[in-house]
Amino acid sequence: MSVLNNLGTSIQYLSGVGPKRAELLRRELGIETLSDLISLYPFRYIDRSGITPIAEIQSTAASVQIRARVLSRTLLGPSGAVISQLTQPIHFNAAKRLSVVVEDASGSIELVFFKGIKWNFTQLVPGSEFIFFGKPQAFNGRLNMVHPEVDPARNEPAGVGALTGVYTSTEKLKAGGITGKVMCKMQAAALSLCLPEIEETLPDYLLQSKGLVSLRFALKNIHFPADTSALEKAQRRLKYEELFLLQLSLLKQKFVRSRGEKGFVMSKVGADWHACYNALPYSLTGAQQRVIKEIRADLMSGSQMNRLLQGDVGSGKTMVAVLSCLLAVGSGYQTCIMAPTEVLARQHFNNIQKYLAPTTVKSAILTGSSTTKQRRETLAGLADGSIGIIVGTHALLEDNVIFANLGLAVIDEQHRFGVDQRAKLWAKNTIAPHVLVMTATPIPRTLAMTLYGDLDVSVIDEMPPGRKPVKTICIGENKRRAMYNFMKEEIAKGRQVFVVYPLIFESEKLDLQNLEKGYEDILQAFPMPEYKVAIVHGQQSNEEKNFNMSAFAAGRAHILVSTTVIEVGVDVPNASVMVIESAQRFGLSQLHQLRGRVGRGSDESYCILMKDVKTSREAQQRLDLMCRTEDGFAIAEEDMKMRGPGDLEGTAQSGLPISLNIASLARDGILLSEARADAIDVLQSDPLLERPENQRLSKELKKNKYDIKDYSKIS
């Protein structure tokens, strides 16, 4: 929407608002201008086309509308005593509530008001007729309505302007007098001022080919629908516009970059790649082979690769990363694999060394705990080019880490690295290196297209052969003794057990107490010297954490009691049982990540979801889904439907590049795919949006809202 005059006006100048309410709207909903106000769309609609006879009202109804005549009105004091209505003036200040009895041809009902007593008393004169709309409830065996909306009895036929929008609200807004009815009045006033100024944002050719209504029609009917058909047209237009412009802004970066940004050409495969590939103990899955082909094509293209590699826990992403690194090394370039934690970096390094054994490629690791001597040797090897593959943490970003020729950067769990940190890595060569981003967090397709819209996405959607599914069961507190017996049986077979407790940021102290109490219970049930129990949580020093995790990984501890710090990291093939305490408090994707810590060896593995006595219906649905499927992508889709896209895995996902007012990634996947395909078509014929017919789009994308950070790289 362009700001010509009224659109940019402060909300306080709108009739009925003023400075006090304007500040309230700014604080509670972030609304400062008329443009902000008309961009707040209703989240649902109430159909007020019908009139319900009073005799047919059910207390279970969400809301009802009645047309009734006022029979009587009674002012009541603090103890329920009737206040005389004969005094002049009437003592309204003493009244605590107003009881109004109304009737239609079928019966009568009481209406109760605790606020606006004087105004309602004056309005609701016996004998007068009104439309009342509200939520019925049963009180002392009789039905009543508390604070119904009151409108003069309409003479127009039912169904005219019948759909009424319901807007996001808060208790503070209601207390400040901004009720649903007031919000509707404000929207009507704002629209009458702003609609003439609204400029179309989409090109005519798109409106015609997609059969979309104009922006003015859409804005009018999203707030005040003429009928359900007009509402559907308005919703489709506004959702499409949001998703199309979002995809256009992301893809434009990609199109401009692929045309203008050179990448190292890596055309050789090299003897080391073949030596590693031929020595693999098993064949690659079809999905792994497909992904390696996609990566190889990128590396040979002459443009910089920016690819997201998604794969469930255990799907073989590391193997793909190693083979990709060897393609770069074979063409004379160095590569780095960057992990968010030292534990994960060391795990990658150990795996990579096994894969590199048949090759001549030299690898090294650089973390915060590398010794001075190790650091000196590693830095020298990177500078002179003798180290082909370096694995590390944030330590790789330090200024004294100089590469002879960095050609490929592989980043694991990229959302854990800040944009500025990644920028340092890209600056370590004259041309930005190729980038492969890996994540074990299954991201729903619609979210991947939005969070990583400017990356090419590869998915490993096949598990390596021989990997057994993890048996998942959900139990209550009454089965704890049986669970401990089962854990003892598994330990007797030489296996190990994870026990994970939630640690939710807001109530850390309480959660830490639960963890410590759980640890004591485990120590009691699994006494030394027969059993050894280690504990890991965020309050420990890195040294303490690493010591305890290493003890478990090396098999010196039977049980690891921990918070979710083990969610991404520890690879212990000998661990066959994952117990998740208070499982109902975790999100689906997080539960799936935790479950992925077991089932890494050849033994039968188990995930036990221990739920609390108080488990909501929604939480139970999550737990049931976990027991039904191991498909990470199906789980992620469900998670997004249940919790929204903002915080998918409980580890502060970067959120969406722009806020969506009306479209939903969980519900509008088909429309998103459509909008993305249309955005690609537009950019293929006009990458810089320079043609006259695309000037509206060019103007729209210049707005701050679309100044989207490039999630794939900053170079």
Give the pLDDT confidence score for residue 160 in this predicted structure: 41
Contact 351, 276 (CB under 8 A): no
Contact predicate 316/288, CB 8 Å: yes
Residue 471, helix vs strand vs coil: strand
Is the model's pLDDT at 231 over the cut of 90? yes
Same domain, 421 and 284: yes
Last residue of a domain, one of 99, 130, 158: 158
Would residue 153 count as lying in a domain? yes
| The pTM of the whole model exceeds 0.85 | no
Cβ neighbours around 327 below 10 Å, total: 25
pLDDT band at 325 (very low <50, low <70, confident <90, very high): very high
Q: Can you spell out the DSSP letters for 48-117?
A: ------GGG--TT-S-EEEEEEEEEEEEE-TTSPEEPSSSSS--GGG-SEEEEEEEETTEEEEEEESSSH
Report CA-CA distances (Å) from 126 to 20, 70, 401, 407, 462. Answer: 36, 5, 85, 84, 73
Instruction: Check whether 311 has a pLDDT greater than 90.
Output: no
Where among 608, 629, 650 does a domain terminate? 629
pLDDT at 664: 77
Higher pLDDT, 588 or 552: 552
Residue 514 has a pLDDT of 77
Yes or no: say if 326 and 266 are a contact pair by the CB < 8 Å rule.
Answer: no
Same domain? For 507 and 581 the reply is yes
pLDDT tier at 261 (50, 70, 90 boundaries)? low
pLDDT value of residue 569: 54
Identify whether 170 is part of a domain. no
pLDDT at 643: 60
Q: Does residue 568 belong to any structural domain of this protein? A: yes
Q: Return the DSSP state at 199.
A: P
Nearest one of 450, 429, 383 to 660, comparing CA atoms:
450
In terms of DSSP bridges, do strands 496-500 and 363-366 run parallel, antiparallel, or are they unpaired? unpaired
Task: Answer yes or no: do 288 and 424 share one domain.
Answer: yes
Specify the DSSP class assigned to residue 164.
Answer: E
CATH code at position 599: 3.40.50.300
Residues 480 and 432 in one domain: no
Residue 609 in this model has a pLDDT that exceeds 60:
yes
User: Considering the chain, what is the average pLDDT of its residues?
Assistant: 84
Over 90: is that where the pLDDT of 618 sits?
Answer: no
Question: Does residue 143 lie within any of the structural domains?
Answer: yes
User: Range of 122's domain?
Assistant: 50-158
Instruction: Please compute the mean of the pLDDT values over residues 461-490 and round it to a whole number.
Output: 87
Per-residue model confidence as pLDDT tens digits over 94-128: 889 999 999 999 999 999 999 889 989 999 999 99
Token output for 487: 């854990």
In a domain, 108, yes or no: yes
Q: Which of 158-162, 224-228, 304-308 has the highest mean pLDDT?
A: 224-228
Which H or E run contains 591?
Answer: helix 588-595
Q: Does residue 17 fall inside a structural domain?
A: no
Residue 566 pLDDT class (50, 70, 90 cuts): low
461-465, 644-648, 705-709: which has the minimum mean pLDDT?
A: 644-648
pLDDT tens profile 328-339:
999 999 999 998
The region of weakest confidence among 33-47, 235-249, 313-327, 403-417 is 403-417
Query: Is the domain of 340 the same as that of 380?
Result: yes
* Residue 337 near residue 321, CB atoms below 8 Å: yes
Among 459, 344, 503, 443, CA closest to 653 = 443
pLDDT at 485 over 90: yes
pLDDT of residue 710: 46
Query: pLDDT tens across 367-381, in order?
Result: 888 889 999 999 999
CATH code of the domain covering residue 110? 2.40.50.140
Quick one: tokens of 61?
């109804």
Under the banding of pLDDT at 50, 70 and 90, the label for residue 16 is confident
